[in-house]
Amino acid sequence: MDHSGAHNRPHVALLPSAGMGHLTPTLRLAASLANHGLQVTLIVGHPIVSAAESKLISRFLSAFPADQVREKQFDIVSVDPATVNSKDPFFIQREATRRSLQILPSLVSSLSPPISALVSDVFLMSPVLEATAHLKDLPQYILFTSSARMFSLFASYHTFFSETSPDFSKVGDFIETPFPGVVPIPISSLPPPLRDPKTWFASTFMEDSKKLSSFDGVLINTFGKLESDSLKGGKLLDGLPPLFTVGLVPCDFEKGSEEGGSAIIKWLDDKEPGSVVYVSFGSRTTMAKEQIREMGEGLVRSGCPFLWVVKDKIVDKEDNDSLEDVIGDAELVEKMKEKGLVVKEWVDQGEVLGHKSVGGFVSHCGWNSVVEAAWYGVRLLGWPQGGDQRINAEVVERSGLGVWAKDWGWMGERVIKGEDIGGKIGEIMRNDLLKFQAEQIGEEARKAVGDGGSCENAMKELIGKWKNE
């Protein structure tokens, strides 16, 4: 780490949104900037929704010198959930954050030395622009926390949507975004909330997608081997800011000190290389009791050793339920103990995916999970739960990183039987071609962030702009 000329180094402020899926890439970007010698301020709204987010921020801040990385807090006003048109605690928190950003100009102005750029989460675009309208000389960037394929939909979304209702009559069964190289997106892959203008998700997309041209650049965590079709068009459309494909890799600060971590790794150490299937549907995805039982049956039927992170609550508040309570079937719990390990606490996903015994990953296809599977070269079975995850699953399949169980539908639409789950897991774990393709993608991911790689070059270009400004 080069801190020479520290008094002249760019100072960048980052403003994350709620949820681990948004916080994690923000902190990885912050770590990358710090490792490139920049000074970083993390602007964090309080209170924070989940304990996992609080712990991750604390570990991040502890990993760097206080004169290089620091936190600046602001208070988030509470909002009436009924005004957000969502029951999701993270959507409610994001809207509350959006309504609290009038503090941003004074907060930014108080930072010393003055910041070279502000990087905001994609879900905070419009209120950030409004709050900082008089800060004319402040370079502003967006961190887009999904795939380049999803970005093509986001950037052109307002052209398919009227102010009062969706209008897809002119697109048929597929959405053809105006981006060069992007394969048409099936209407069936569109996140359901984007079809209803009354949802928080749709109204935010509608408002924000029109304003991309007001920003100086968009940062996105992807690389050519993973999204060759979405990136081969080169520069974006006229009027849109440049896209920087930065490589945000798992970091040491993400490794927790939870007691369960060492037990999990010890369990993995005893398994044959590439034999374990890891099952996790992200930090927010929950399953109904009946589907949890069928998932357990499927894992047992697959014949593979498995590590399953089971989750039945969105927010990780105090939880005293036993695994038997969560699974709801004591006999099944005993069966699973013979072949697998089931946990309900936070797991260091990077450490798990990087373990030599892990050969497959059953995932919801949240973008962080996809890029982590790509980084570690682990084949993936996608089962999208909502949001951008079907679009991300299309990336997984097109890249060769894995397969997508299309006939299962969105998770929660119907109960998928254990027999089907077990059969599909067995198929991917026996698929040597898939294994080879995933390993190749992992090698390409490392090249992208290495010297001369596309992501490293994009990062250096970005930092060079900030130094000049």
- Cα separation, 198 vs 185, in Å, equals 22
Provide φ and ψ at 362, rounded to 5°.
-95, 120
Taking the C-alpha atoms of residue 252 and residue 64, their distance in angstroms, rounded to an integer, is 11
Distance of CA 286 to the CA centre of its chain: 16
Active site residue 158: no
> Distance of CA 382 to CAs 62, 135, 338, 410, 424, Å?
34, 43, 25, 11, 10
Give the list of residues 6+ apart from residue 347 with CB closer than 8 angstroms, or none: 260, 261, 264, 280, 307, 309
Cβ(313)–Cβ(284) below 8 Å: no
Q: Is 58 helix (H, G, I), strand (E, B) or coil?
A: helix
Sign of CA dihedral 172, 229, 438, 362: negative
Question: Which of these, 214, 74, 200, lies nearest to 139 by C-alpha position?
Answer: 214
Task: Give the tokens for residue 101.
Answer: 């950003």
Identify whether 121 is a catalytic site residue.
yes
Dihedral sign (CA 83, 22, 149, 40): positive
Q: Are strands 276-280 and 358-363 parallel, antiparallel or unpaired?
A: parallel
Joined together, the tokens standing for residue 322 give: 């036993």
Of the residues 2, 46, 75, 121, only one is catalytic, namely: 121
Residue in 22, 208, 364, 388 annotated catalytic: 22
Which residues are within 8 A (CB) of 366 and not within 5 positions of it... i.e. 6 or more apart? 21, 282, 285, 387, 389, 392
Residue 391 makes CB contacts below 8 A (sequence gap 6+) with: 146, 147, 149, 150, 153, 185, 189, 191
User: What is the spatial distance between Cα 187 and Cα 175, in angstroms, rounded to a whole number?
Assistant: 6
Burial (CB count within 10 angstroms: exposed 0-12, middle 13-18, buried 19+), residue 273? exposed
Q: Provide the sign of the torsion angle of the four alpha carbons 254, 259, 260, 265, taken in this order.
A: positive
- Give the active site residues: 22, 121
